[in-house]
Amino acid sequence: MAGPFSYEEGVWVPVLSFGNLSVGITYAFQTGQYTKIGRQLHLYCNIVLTSKGVSVGTARIRGIPFVPVYNFPIVALPSSGMAGLTPGGAILIGMTPPDHINLMFQTAAGVIMLTDANFTNASSFRFGLIYII
């Protein structure tokens, strides 16, 4: 049994979906890493698309390796920016329900949910976030 200060590193496969589907989405790069220290999880994601596919709806990242204890907003700052996403130049926000991360932008007018319409076939983004498991 792991102690309260156990340490673990690993990889995970982030899966982009629109409206909970990923029909036709293809990737040039699709990687994720994590570091677990006790109950704290440091999660990293890097996605580069070659096709956004044909699914429509709210943008989400699925495949997170550990379920968060709480359902609360988490700010995820892009490690090296985003490309091919509209609106551009805003902070990526992730809300972590039990099995996925919702992708949102913080704008001057408030928070908007990203959808397939915000992506192109060459969109890319990287982010890291920390949450309690």
| Element at 76 (helix H, strand E) | none
Q: Can you tell me the mean pLDDT for 116-120?
A: 92
Q: Can you tell me the mean pLDDT for 112-133?
A: 88
Phi, psi of 32 (to 5 degrees): -145, 145
Q: Can you tell me the mean pLDDT for 97-108?
A: 80
pLDDT of residue 103: 86
Residues sharing a CB contact under 8 Å with residue 3, sequence separation 6 or more, in sequence order = none
Contact 99, 64 (CB under 8 A): yes
Q: Can you tell me the mean pLDDT for 45-70?
A: 93
Q: Can you tell me the mean pLDDT for 68-75?
A: 69
Q: Can you tell me the mean pLDDT for 2-21?
A: 90
Q: How far apart are the first and last CA of the chain?
A: 16
